[in-house]
Structure 1
């Protein structure tokens, strides 16, 4: 176990690894923290929502809001005759996490008493808007649910004392279109410190923490490991079949739900994800974003995510594939990241993050006194042989070993795609 910076990166179209390292601006890894004094005023406030008949066909409806709560109160008129004011729907309880661009609260649904997670994102800069919209596009584009992908209940836009529920592809919403314009133009057109703009995401609450916390707080359990391997493979196959490349798979972004009694993994944090449908026929993402009506096609599109080339080098160091460091990659980068996660989980390979001081799961290559992410090491030396397993007393089966070697292949074409991975993972975990 070593000390190292496990950083999250986001940069456009690098041309070389050296240029990439010079230009990179690191973002802190998501980390759960204790409630700070400055956010205590958020506690106990009520998040209120507005239901509008059909957002896609209705006019752009804004209603007054009280402080940071969605308190709906408007005058009756014909244009709003079809709208309905709801009673307080969510009560914020406590802060449970804070990332590079948002705060996550535990909340209660007032009507059902169910616990939910509420993520508050301030759209105070184009890069924040881009991350928020990426998460919204990815989760809102899914026509079906998957038990291993976190569920989005609703997303509400708050600005200038107004609040509006966002719907996917709502071309009639001026606020939605202005968000897209902000992201595309890179201009700060959506408010100022006096009149901030926020997006609120209401999602299912995962009480078991993240994969780091769950694995490292318990004794090794082969049955749990096998279950987690199958669940992760199933989640990634579902996302790729729906034209979504996650691009930031890591234990921090894999949450645990224990509502059913047994742990269920939930892939979360889609801020760096890419919806590959509706981005143009060229198959390059560059600086493009989906248009107001763009996004995924619910798995019915013709896009092959394994042939859709992406050029925004992003992710977290220890989980980035070699080709991501170069800025020319496909969805196969998710397969590499998943291989690193599973390898670290099985052998409990960890490091201490220098900034958060947390022990994190992550596989690396030792070079002298330094540790280097596997993807970066393979980029510098493509002929390097990965020693899987690392530990001499490992109980890793030959089937799992061969599968990990294939998932971590230097050449993306030598890696299985997500559908192939799911089949092979089922086979090796049943045989092990």
Structure 2
């Protein structure tokens, strides 16, 4: 995740049709995780914590609060050749970690197998060793657990487990019986570290569906251009964002890195993932949230109905090439997700890319050339609101007039001129069917 408050040099990919450098962004303040010692590491043993269970005795020196903790369960470890055999018998772990498949600024993702069913899953391990890490982890947990229904284009969270001092506890949102959970919430809200022993860190483990197709960058750039696949992906992406906004979630970090591909059904299915910067807007109002309703908006009413496009958000977060002009100013609504989606679809359709200076990866992303530099579209529009975007970029592009007009509306400098997510889903269906 990139928090964009600085500048770095980037180079343009030859596939993107340009040269020079670009202004980039700083990494999030979250500390990068250290590499673990073995390829096959920890697996969790957790049980259903909807009913009270006796807590297994793990350490004699646990403090009084920990001894009173309810609904905790033992955690066992896979045998590693570098580690001695356990002194006592432990129950078999539920998941076997196979290999590392991804690494971000605050967590590591592994391919894993559920030992009981043999099902393939992804396990993300997040170390809650700093307030900024806790905030990102809880944001993802709250967003995914707030979804009452599933959507085929949103990554599915199977379970989340909190690990500390050799104990694992299955997490549930708002669990007031868990002191460990409440401490994490307090840490996130106050921005203060939890006093404790550094040699006994706290971890959150997210068990999610595994997407074997990699991310959108890898999938698109490793294959020949396919208009039919592009149209399918456009419909899937707009459907996912419409679903999230309907459920009062602003993603705030939509980019190809955070869009995964599942091929289990035989055809590629997109999965929007990585909700560490997301915001759940249900029930927000100016009294109980730092983010305030826009004029004419409200978070109350019967059935807690929320117009997500009426809430102003103030944290300037995201990744620079996909950030809307108003996000750079730190004053925006859910329409910022629509702008980011416009950038992604434009880049995917015309295969516009750049080379990331840090990772050296070729990434999908649209930009504006300014002399020897390339500048994110949102930043360029902020500097020059009257600038006209040339869509498509390439003279021989096969982009339809309907898609061209829709992208221009999605990338409007004024968010009020952009379609909302439900309008976008309807229009995208019409555009892709006409094509």
Which TM-score band (shorter chain)?
0.7 to 0.9
Count of aligned pairs? 383
Give the match for residue 402 of structure 2: 399
Give the match for residue 313 of structure 1: 316
What SS class does the counterpart of residue 39 from structure 1 fall into?
Answer: coil
Give the match for residue 40 of structure 2: 43
Post-superposition CA distance 1:375-410 (Å, at most 9, x none): 000000000000000000000000000000000000
Indicate which of 8, 27, 39 corresponds to 2:2. Answer: 8
Taking a change above 3 Å as real, the CA distance of residues 98 and 375 of structure 1, as seen in their structure-2 partners, is same
Q: Does 1:415 align with 2:425?
A: no
Taking a change above 3 Å as real, the CA distance of residues 422 and 86 of structure 1, as seen in their structure-2 partners, is farther
Taking a change above 3 Å as real, the CA distance of residues 352 and 407 of structure 1, as seen in their structure-2 partners, is same
Within 2, Cα distance between the matches of 1:10 and 1:177?
30
Residue pairs, 1:190-339, within 5 angstroms: 191-281=196-286, 285-286=290-291, 301-339=304-342
TM-score of the two chains, using structure 2 as the length reference: 0.83
Gaps of 5+ in 1: 1-6, 12-23, 74-84, 288-295
Give the match for residue 184 of structure 1: 189
Gaps of 5+ in 2: 6-24, 53-67, 80-85, 293-298
Give the match for residue 427 of structure 1: 430
TM-score of the two chains, using structure 1 as the length reference: 0.84
How far 1:138 moved relative to its partner? 0.1
Within 1, Cα distance between the matches of 2:374 and 2:111?
36
How far 1:278 moved relative to its partner? 3.1
Within 2, Cα distance between the matches of 1:340 and 1:28?
25
Contact 1:283 1:308 in 2 (8 A): no
Indicate which of 372, 379, 392 corresponds to 1:369. Answer: 372
Within 1, Cα distance between the matches of 2:289 and 2:320?
23
Taking a change above 3 Å as real, the CA distance of residues 67 and 87 of structure 1, as seen in their structure-2 partners, is closer
Post-superposition CA distance 1:66-99 (Å, at most 9, x none): 4689xxx9xxxxxxxxxxx974211000000000
Taking a change above 3 Å as real, the CA distance of residues 126 and 427 of structure 1, as seen in their structure-2 partners, is same
Within 2, Cα distance between the matches of 1:246 and 1:220?
28
Contact 1:251 1:361 in 2 (8 A): yes
Residue pairs, 1:86-235, within 5 angstroms: 87-189=92-194, 191-235=196-240
What SS class does the counterpart of residue 376 from structure 1 fall into?
Answer: helix
What SS class does the counterpart of residue 419 from structure 1 fall into?
Answer: helix
Taking a change above 3 Å as real, the CA distance of residues 422 and 244 of structure 1, as seen in their structure-2 partners, is same
Give the match for residue 61 of structure 1: 71
Within 1, Cα distance between the matches of 2:186 and 2:287?
22
How far 1:59 moved relative to its partner? 6.8
Within 2, Cα distance between the matches of 1:236 and 1:354?
29
How far 1:162 moved relative to its partner? 1.8
